[in-house]
Structure 1
Amino acid sequence: MSKSNFALASMENEKDLIKKDFLGQYDRDSGPFGLPAELAKSIAVPNAEKLGLSIRALSQTKDPSFSEKDATLERIIERNNFLPSWFAYVGDLRQRAVCLISASGLDYLGREGRWRGSAFLVSGNILMTNHHVINTAEVAGNARAIFNFQTDQIGNDLPTIQFKLRPDLLFLTDKQLDFTFVAVEGEPGKDFGCIQLSRAFFNITDGENCNIIQHPGGERKVFVLQENEVKKQTPTTLLYSSDTMAGSSGSPVFDNEWNLIGLHHATKELDPPDPRHLNEGIKISAIAVALEGMVNNPSNRAAAQTVLDLFSGSNSVTGYFGAMGRKVDAADNGEEIVVKSYTGDDEDIDVGFWNIEHFEKTYADKIPVVAEIIIDLNLDVWAFEEVSPKAIKLLVGYLKNNYHMNFGYLMSEPDAADGKQTTGIIWNESSVVCQRDPWPETVQDWLNAHSSTFTGLDDGNEAVDGFIFNRYPERFYVKTANSEKLDFYLVPLHLKAMPEGSKRRRMASEILSGAVSYSDKNGGLTQNWLLGGDMNATLSSNDFSFLEDAGMIALSAEDSEDGAITYIGRPKSLIDHIYLSPNLHNSTDSAFFIVARDKDIPRFTKEVSDHRPILVRLSKPNGAIYPENGDFLKTLDAMKKAIAGTGE
């Protein structure tokens, strides 16, 4: 394969073309993850450097020890050249998915010609490369992806396989973040595999090594290993000292565990005393955030969602829901979306409800894993069921000592004994303010009612023995800490599963609906309510229907594992949409609820409890929001079937 008639895909005049990062170049004071203090504060991660280092350390400490004595994790990630025995094997699997791109037409500068670059598969038939390698659908239509362009161990060329690209099925590109996704004819992934995309933000720190698989100079595939130190970072980019050449554009950048962390795209010149030239890659986490914003552009929506569905994990900076509901415009480019998403933390409040089974007894074993989940999902508030005051207190201490995150906590029953099962909340003190706002005395009497004395329902001969609420459902007031007030009442619920559970839920629904109404009439702080937890079914919506007469809305959603929420909203509320984790079913079929279908609950939550957490984002109105209606889902399904059909 002669290269004599080809140019090489590269960024020209890189110093001018790579725009100054939105945080002010490569700030030497921004820490090893590229998060300056001002931005870290705005995203409610004030100790970002310590948090990131702790995440990196814990990710390499599979079974961190825990004691009740304010145990603080102190671990230095040292550089060395010791690599696990599987390093070469996994590296070989990754390299198979990397291909050479042969393209022609008008390049990204409008010049006619032919050129080469690198790319890699992110699914069976979707590949990723740079915008300046494949800049338009027309270029993609004439391009070829060439796999296996490499030699064996004695220098003999291996047989190559070429595939056409299918931009008519999927094509998505962004000039500012310099990425392109495009469909491939057939299914090369069956033979060559693919590379997993991840939203993870804290996946490498300055001083660690990265690895690149590339086609330098448009020639045969090579590895660049080990002496590739990450020098600097920003929220969108990595700078590293790897050897690359023109033609390497579009190569995947990996950490030392072969996790994809970046998309190589250019060389950048730095000022002394730094090395004069470093290579630059776009962070995969930034590309994920950009895609989440692109879903608001009707022309790109199906393509962006199709690619988003390939991502796993959470971004510990933007939180579980990422850019969903953040203020972005349909015309925003990828970089603008990232800027707005990373600085829009005060536009929403994220809440999780979780029944951590037997946490009051087994906290010593579970706290490290629970803390890891809390940090990974980066919610503002957690409402826990079946926990004890002692377990919550130790969890909050562990989060502070090991992740340098300050959480407040309150129990629904403040005088409960240390080992008593009850409900409680914890919250990130940098993002929200929470306080106990006890129910009026009349309502407290209702909530403490015994079923044998409850006369509000006529249920025939069905008997209920015991308190209607096994765990007292306290009322907490939640609001944003640093912005125009977004507020609501939060009521954690646990209606213990019993044979007479349906009757108990009806009683509970009647009491809670009356409690909401009574609070409204007697000067409550807010008229927005979020009631949720382990309820075995949604609360009876009919019991809340009378609120509609006052212009309020009552909506419910439930999952298949006994978790549910009910939202009650006031007229002219700042809360415009509620985003749900995909394990929740929108039982009201309302466009007010939007399911985060491309998100996944961490699999290791099952190590802690059989109950998955249910997650909710309450969001301000921020321009055009496109609900997942039937038309869009049909379009999305048709696109995926068409792409998959090329491999049949």
Structure 2
Amino acid sequence: MTGGTGATGYLSREDILAVRDAALDAGLTDPAMRPLLFDGVMPRYRATLPLLPAPGLQVQSDLVEMNRVERLVDGSVPLETWLRNAVAQTTAAAPAAVLQRALDDVARDASGEPDVLADRPVPELKEEIVHRDDTVPFGFLRGGDAAGAAVARVKVPPYEGGEPLQPNGFPHSGTAWLVTPDLLVTNHHVVNARTASGGRRALAGPEDLLLQARGARARFDYESDDTETEEAAVRELAAHDAELDYAVLRLAEPSTRPVLRLAGRTLRVAAGDVVAVNIIQHPGGAPKRVALRNNLVFRADDRDLHYFTDTRSGSSGSPVLTDDWRVVALHRGTRRVEDVSFQGRDTAFVNVGTQFTAVMAHLAEHAPRVHAEIEAAQRGAAGAPV
């Protein structure tokens, strides 16, 4: 049912004790709170945890045990779920900050996100972000509905030495989307299917990476747990790059769905510009969600796009879309920032995506056939309604 995280786990011993102390300060050690903290954790796994008579020791024991588990057979990370619930139940600022920081570290390591955002000065956002006309044409909603049909939850089983890493699986979840009827785009670190440790991620060997890609399954129309939808199989890894953090998967059978259209230009943001983006995603491997327009770009260069939005582990690989529902970037992770204000409130995070023009330029040089295939599909989609 479970997979180990190795000798270190997600959090250090000092971090575990800090989370325990924060839980004590927040009143989360009350036995009545335990069911709320484990909401969303597989009951069969929870039943394996030792029960102790002292509430403080119980929380510490739970944390230590969960810290040893990389993920469960459903792909979930119990420590991440527990911490997310703990943050939701905490109102006091000091313990909430400790819990949130631990959650961020666990979520980032669980997703295998690479830590590539360099420290740079962060510009302040102007008051005009609030005082402006934020309405969009009604067709925006229809365009979003059409774009969502091309987005899927993808699960990738890890392999090592040509064999499944665990007998029962422990798949890594991400988001993927159609750029041609045959090709899905997601992050390299999603297909890499490795949990990061100490801010670094191990890389799967070339043969294991191919096996993981071929074992990936994409689930379209996953909008509710109440409805079963079919999963699409993957035939091969068509192209990939760890530095730009992209992977292109070829489906076993072409899809009849409309593909997402590419913006075709690098997004530029001048000082004072207010640019909103939209992210269709499967956070935590859960049903499809969308972050709409309250996601403002604050910095862009030839390779990276930085923006404020709500994402979670599992959102990796999501398309970052402009208001005309064209893909401008490939979402790849979240980075911590300090002394940054967004719409009048301090924020601890900024999201980062790879400009898709950078991905296309890399494909043109290193995988020209895939590049040509995407270009041809995009020309065919040019007349499709948004």
Shorter chain as denominator, the TM-score bin is 0.5 to 0.7
* Contact 1:149-1:221 within 8 A present in 2 as well: yes
Task: Please give the secondary structure, in 2, of the residue aligned with 1:270.
Answer: strand
- The one-letter amino acid of 1:277's match is F
Q: Which residue of structure 2 lines up, in the alignment, with residue 99 of structure 1?
A: 152
* Contact 1:292-1:308 within 8 A present in 2 as well: no
Task: Please give the secondary structure, in 2, of the residue aligned with 1:165.
Answer: strand
* Contact 1:149-1:157 within 8 A present in 2 as well: no
Residues 291 and 142 (structure 1), Cα distance of their counterparts in 2 relative to 1, 3 Å cut: same
Structure 2 residue 136 is matched with structure 1 residue 83: yes
Partner Cα separation in structure 2 for residue 79 and residue 233 of structure 1: 22
- The one-letter amino acid of 2:309's match is S
Partner Cα separation in structure 2 for residue 311 and residue 27 of structure 1: 37
Q: Which residue of structure 1 lines up, in the alignment, with residue 24 of structure 2?
A: none
Q: Which residue of structure 2 lines up, in the alignment, with residue 284 of structure 1?
A: 356
- The one-letter amino acid of 2:213's match is A
Aligned counterparts, 1:492-531, within 5 A:
none
Task: Please give the secondary structure, in 2, of the residue aligned with 1:6.
Answer: coil
Question: Where does the alignment leave 5 or more consecutive residues of structure 2 unmatched?
Answer: 1-41, 43-70, 78-106, 193-208, 342-346
Decide which of 177, 189, 199 is 1:132's aligned counterpart.
189
Aligned counterparts, 1:178-197, within 5 A:
178-188=245-255, 190=256, 192-197=257-262
* Contact 2:111-2:190 within 8 A present in 1 as well: no
Q: CA deviation at 1:301?
A: 4.2
Q: Which residue of structure 2 lines up, in the alignment, with residue 266 of structure 1?
A: 333
Decide which of 295, 306, 309 is 1:239's aligned counterpart.
306
Residues 98 and 272 (structure 1), Cα distance of their counterparts in 2 relative to 1, 3 Å cut: same
Decide which of 103, 107, 115 is 1:18's aligned counterpart.
115
Partner Cα separation in structure 1 for residue 132 and residue 112 of structure 2: 30
When normalised by structure 1's length, the TM-score is 0.35
Structure 2 residue 302 is matched with structure 1 residue 249: no
Q: Which residue of structure 1 lines up, in the alignment, with residue 25 of structure 2?
A: none
Q: CA deviation at 1:204?
A: 6.0
Question: Where does the alignment leave 5 or more consecutive residues of structure 1 unmatched?
Answer: 33-75, 295-299, 313-601, 604-648
Partner Cα separation in structure 1 for residue 110 and residue 280 of structure 2: 24
Q: Which residue of structure 2 lines up, in the alignment, with residue 208 of structure 1?
A: 275
* Contact 2:267-2:300 within 8 A present in 1 as well: no
Residues 140 and 17 (structure 1), Cα distance of their counterparts in 2 relative to 1, 3 Å cut: closer
Q: CA deviation at 1:258?
A: 1.2
Partner Cα separation in structure 1 for residue 283 and residue 112 of structure 2: 21
Q: CA deviation at 1:84?
A: 0.1
Residues 207 and 254 (structure 1), Cα distance of their counterparts in 2 relative to 1, 3 Å cut: same
Aligned counterparts, 1:512-551, within 5 A:
none
Q: CA deviation at 1:158?
A: 3.2
Partner Cα separation in structure 1 for residue 311 and residue 117 of structure 2: 22
Residues 225 and 246 (structure 1), Cα distance of their counterparts in 2 relative to 1, 3 Å cut: same
Partner Cα separation in structure 1 for residue 326 and residue 278 of structure 2: 10
Partner Cα separation in structure 2 for residue 197 and residue 97 of structure 1: 13
Aligned counterparts, 1:110-509, within 5 A:
113-135=170-192, 136-151=209-224, 157-167=226-236, 171-188=238-255, 190=256, 192-202=257-267, 206-273=273-340, 275-294=347-366, 300-310=367-377
CA RMSD of aligned residues (A): 3.6
Q: State the structure with more CA Rg.
A: 1
After superposition, what is the alpha-carbon deviation per residue over 1:220-272, rounded to whole angstroms, capped at 9, x for unaligned? 00111121111222221111111111011111111122121111110011232
Decide which of 61, 68, 73 is 1:5's aligned counterpart.
73
Task: Please give the secondary structure, in 1, of the residue aligned with 2:223.
Answer: coil
* Bigger RCO of structures 1 and 2 (CA < 8 A, at least 6 apart): 2
Partner Cα separation in structure 1 for residue 72 and residue 286 of structure 2: 11
Residues 26 and 308 (structure 1), Cα distance of their counterparts in 2 relative to 1, 3 Å cut: farther
Q: CA deviation at 1:8?
A: 5.7
| Most deviating of 268-277 and 157-166 | 268-277
Q: CA deviation at 1:85?
A: 1.3
When normalised by structure 2's length, the TM-score is 0.57
Partner Cα separation in structure 2 for residue 257 and residue 301 of structure 1: 28
* Contact 1:249-1:265 within 8 A present in 2 as well: yes
Q: Sequence identity, in percent?
A: 26
Partner Cα separation in structure 2 for residue 220 and residue 105 of structure 1: 22
Partner Cα separation in structure 1 for residue 165 and residue 371 of structure 2: 28
Decide which structure has greater helix share: 2
Q: CA deviation at 1:304?
A: 4.2
